[in-house]
Amino acid sequence: MYRERPSRLSGAVVWTRTVGGSGDARPVLPDGCMDLLWCEGRLLVAGPDTHAYVPDAAPGTRYAGIRFAPGAGPAVFGVPAHELRDTRVALDAIWPGAEVRSLVERIGEAARPAAALEAVALAKVPGPDPLTRAVADRLAAGWSVTATAAEAGLGARQLHRRCLDAFGYGPKTLARILRLQRALDLVRRGVPYAEAALAAGCADQAHLAREMRSLAGMTLTDYASAANSETSTPSGSWTTA
């Protein structure tokens, strides 16, 4: 069972998941984000993905996490995003071991581990980087990489370096991922595939299908089926985090 709610931290999402049976291994799709995870007494960092990640966990395994807004994670962890791309690493490989052990104990003893995890994140997050937020917002809105760089006052190479540090990959890959996420958000709302493709900025449904296979490793039909079978809770009504 998976549940999520908006975080008190701007742009972030707090979530929990308890792994069910063998058919519950749903892939985590690329979204330009980084997560701080608590899992059965361990704290982990999930770096930005460039392809679908399928968790390998036994039934009953419990997770709590906070998914930071695109580009926000590196300021929390103190590590450029590209160094954690397509990885899951123990938090004590990044932060001091004594600090992590104290946090693991505090979160493990909390009645609501996800809320305790959110409190850790709120204490760690610095002020937002206006440039990073602007780049993510414009690419998410469908701006071209060239127009985004010009609006940000950056050259192409400068934008590429800033994106590697903030998001884990260059602006073209980030734009593809955010476009796919726009399309999938529409698919989850029941918008027909062809309409979702055009609204998200794809040339047509076939273009969206190719991006889905390339970035997510699955078909649109498989994704829609999995999304419809998920159990989630609307914002504001989740009381177990």
> How many C-beta atoms surround the C-beta of residue 189 within 10 A?
8
This prediction's pTM: 0.86
pLDDT on residue 24: 57
Give 237's pLDDT tier (boundaries 50, 70, 90).
very low
Residue 203, pLDDT > 70, answer yes
H or E element at residue 99: helix 97-109
* Mean pLDDT of the region 90-115: 95
Q: In what order do the strands lie in the sheet with 88-90?
A: 2-6, 13-18, 62-67, 35-39, 42-46, 88-90
- Dihedral sign for Cα 93, 129, 156, 185, please: positive
Across 17-26, 37-46, 109-118, least confident range: 17-26
The answer to whether the CB of 178 falls within 8 A of the CB of 139 is yes
Interval 30-76: pLDDT, tens: 999 999 999 989 999 999 999 988 878 788 888 999 999 999 999 99
Residue 215 to residue 179: CA distance in whole angstroms: 11
Helix (H, G, I), strand (E, B) or coil at 159: helix
Q: Which two tokens stand for residue 169?
A: 């990959």
Residue 234, pLDDT > 80, answer no
Helix (H, G, I), strand (E, B) or coil at 170: coil
Residue 11 to residue 28: CA distance in whole angstroms: 18
Helix (H, G, I), strand (E, B) or coil at 180: helix
* Mean pLDDT of the region 193-198: 96
Give the residue with greater pLDDT, 103 vs 141. Answer: 103
Residue among 57, 19, 50 nearest 33 (CA): 50
Give the residue with greater pLDDT, 125 vs 173. Answer: 173
* Mean pLDDT of the region 69-89: 95
Interval 135-147: pLDDT, tens: 999 998 889 999 9
Residue among 2, 9, 4 nearest 121 (CA): 9
